[in-house]
Amino acid sequence: MADGPPRHALEPAPTPGKVPPVPRLPRPGAFEARPGAEERVRAAEAEFAAGVAALTAGGPESALQHFDLVVRAFPGHADAWFNRGLALLEMGRFPEALAAFDAAVWRQRGEADSWDGRGIALGEIRQPAESLQAHEMAVQLDANRAAFWYNRGHAHVALAHPRQAFDSFGKALALDARAYDAALCRALVAEKQGWAREELSAADEMLRIRPDDPSAWDRRARCLAALGRKDEARAARAAAFRHGKSDPERWYNRGVYYRKKEREADAEACLREALRRNPDLADAWVHLALGLARQGMREEALSATDQVLRLRPDDAPSALRRATLLAELDRVDAALDAADKAAAAAPSGREGWDLLADLAKRAQRSDLLEKALRKTLSIDREDVAAWHDLGVTLGRLGRRQEALAAFDRALRLAPKSADVLYGKALYLETLGQVAPALRLYEAALRSRPGHKKAGQRKAELEARGGKRPQGAPPQLPQPSARGGRRRRHGGGR
């Protein structure tokens, strides 16, 4: 049965995106002052200020209403168009945002942040080449703004220009030494290109800004390992755990590592710590159950498996594991019920039906055994072992024609299978058909001369001169143990 899902690395943080410009504040004298328009100007200034306040407070819908009033009254006001573009950008209305930034640029071509906003909007509507051109214009107009270089780096990423992107993020970091996202993006570009030394340098920049960042320590450890600096990598991994030990995922990962090393006691301690911090970490319950079962602590393993199924009711491997544990605890009826439900929940999988077949055989539940075998055959019509076992089961139930049909189907698939020949012969003997049974015993011995039981039955029939036996007929063989593996009866030795 497969292990629970291994997850040896923490989920990566989402890649940071572009940074939009900040809203422009009202500038004195920015509105046309015509005689008699003082009231109109004051109203527009009030709307502009209210729009900036709404944008700053995270209310783009309200801000858009205010700036709509401003541009309606003063269509040539570039700052109002720019702020309107910011509001639309925040609302995800990117084509309209582009139109607003275009209006701002047309009215005031020298404003770098209007070009920057235009580049962001173009990137969102998947026009990467035009987006890069707009960001290039922004850095030409103001080369000292870290955000412009940072956004330019993203434009190069979109166009698959790794070296230009790496350098652009580096320029942003040089202008703003605390720009963590620029260092992170620099590391991500290097990671994608396989530039271990450059990625290590970026990871060190991340740690310079945030010395207690466990993800940066993880990155540093990986780069050092790739560069063959094993002792430093080990120290970095220890630092990552030290700074991130409040995170249950790190305890989980350490537990998985110890399980791979077969240090079950250490693994159990780490997994229990992960679950103390987050009782709903299903994967930790999976690995805890596996480790406990390996140590023979079946009741505890069953309890852990129940926790997995509480969190993930459709977890098929855990459902099968639960049935197996119940069987190992000799709770056969409960195991049968669990296996039946687990197999029904994953009807196209062999493992559940094979387990149900084994448990049904153990409990002498011919009804469930027949069900499991027929389901197995619906998955694989050429499974010789399943046809043989179905013949045995139907024979025990007294369903003569169906039993013989199942044996015949097995023999069509494997005409020289000694086990199938013996099984059908024994069934014919129970029916009193001694002559055909004798011929099948002989065929089984030709296929496998060392088949002891076929030899014994043949000798007994020949000793009686081919006559029917007196008293009870011979017992049919037991169905084979299936054990979750695909089995076929071979024809050779």
Note every long-range contact of 36-43, with CB atoms under 8 Å and residues 24 or more positions apart, other chains counting: 40/73, 43/73
Q: Residues with Cβ < 8 Å from 32, sequence gap 6 or more?
A: 41, 74, 76
Superfamily assignment of 245-313 in CATH? Tetratricopeptide repeat domain (1.25.40.10)
- Residue 135, token pair as written in the block: 């960001």
Give the Cβ contact number of residue 158 at 10 Å.
Answer: 18
Give the Cβ contact number of residue 171 at 10 Å.
Answer: 18
- Quote the Cα angle for 192-194-199, to 5°: 85
Average pLDDT, the chain: 88
For residue 36, what pLDDT is reported?
60
**pLDDT band, residue 45 (cuts 50/70/90):** confident
- Checking if the pLDDT of 467 tops 70, the result is no
**pLDDT band, residue 10 (cuts 50/70/90):** very low
Q: Residues with Cβ < 8 Å from 270, sequence gap 6 or more?
A: 251, 252, 254, 255, 258
Q: Name which residue leads in pLDDT, 158 or 474.
A: 158
Amino acid at 136: E
Amino acid at 141: L
**pLDDT band, residue 488 (cuts 50/70/90):** very low
Pairwise CA distance, residues 442 & 419, whole Å: 12
Pairwise CA distance, residues 230 & 199, whole Å: 17
61-96 in b/e burial notation, b at 16+ Cβ within 10 A?
A: eebbebbebbbebbeebbbbbbbbbbbbbbeebbeb
In this prediction, residues 190-205 reach a mean pLDDT of 96
**Do residues 248 and 242 touch, judged by C-beta distance below 8 A?**
no
For residue 7, what pLDDT is reported?
47
Give the Cβ contact number of residue 442 at 10 Å.
Answer: 15
**Do residues 288 and 310 touch, judged by C-beta distance below 8 A?**
no
- Residue 348, token pair as written in the block: 């196209």
For residue 159, what pLDDT is reported?
95
- 60-98 confidence digits (pLDDT tens): 999 999 999 999 988 888 999 999 999 999 999 999 999
**pLDDT band, residue 484 (cuts 50/70/90):** very low
- Residue 49, token pair as written in the block: 């200020």
Give the Cβ contact number of residue 353 at 10 Å.
Answer: 29
Identify the CATH assignment for 38-239 out of 3.30.300.180, 3.30.70.2190, 3.30.70.141, 1.25.40.10. 1.25.40.10
Looking at domain 315-379, its CATH architecture is Alpha Horseshoe (1.25)
**Do residues 74 and 62 touch, judged by C-beta distance below 8 A?**
no
- Count the residues in the chain: 493
**Do residues 45 and 31 touch, judged by C-beta distance below 8 A?**
yes
Q: Name which residue leads in pLDDT, 437 or 465.
A: 437
- Checking if the pLDDT of 485 tops 60, the result is no
Name the CA radius of gyration of the chain, rounded. 37
Q: CA-CA-CA-CA torsion for 107, 110, 115, 117, nearest 10 degrees?
A: -70
Q: Is domain 396-493 given the CATH code 1.25.40.10 in the classification?
A: yes
Domain ranges of the chain: 38-239, 245-313, 315-379, 396-493
- Residue 448, token pair as written in the block: 């496998």
**pLDDT band, residue 466 (cuts 50/70/90):** low
Return the residue matching tokens 């003063």. 74
- 134-146 confidence digits (pLDDT tens): 999 999 999 999 9
Phi-psi region of 356 (alpha: psi -120 to 50; beta: other; left: phi over 0): alpha
For residue 408, what pLDDT is reported?
94
- 321-367 confidence digits (pLDDT tens): 999 999 999 998 999 999 998 888 888 888 889 889 988 888 888 88
DSSP string, 321-353: HHHHHHHHTT-HHHHHHHHHHHHHHSTT-HHHH
- 245-294 confidence digits (pLDDT tens): 889 988 998 899 889 989 999 999 999 999 999 999 999 999 999 999 99
For residue 33, what pLDDT is reported?
61
- Checking if the pLDDT of 161 tops 50, the result is yes
Identify each DSSP E strand in 176-295 by its residue range.
none
Same fold, 245-313 and 396-493: yes
The separation between CA 123 and the C-alpha centre of its own chain, rounded to angstroms, equals 29
* DSSP structure class, residue 470: S
- Quote the Cα angle for 36-41-45, to 5°: 165
**Do residues 454 and 422 touch, judged by C-beta distance below 8 A?**
yes
Return the residue matching tokens 């497969």. 2
**Do residues 398 and 421 touch, judged by C-beta distance below 8 A?**
no
- Checking if the pLDDT of 384 tops 90, the result is yes
Give percent of the chain above pLDDT 90: 65
Instruction: Provide the 3-class DSSP secondary structure of residue 378.
Output: helix
- Checking if the pLDDT of 468 tops 80, the result is no
- 397-437 confidence digits (pLDDT tens): 889 999 999 999 999 999 999 999 999 998 898 888 889 99
Pairwise CA distance, residues 21 & 100, whole Å: 14
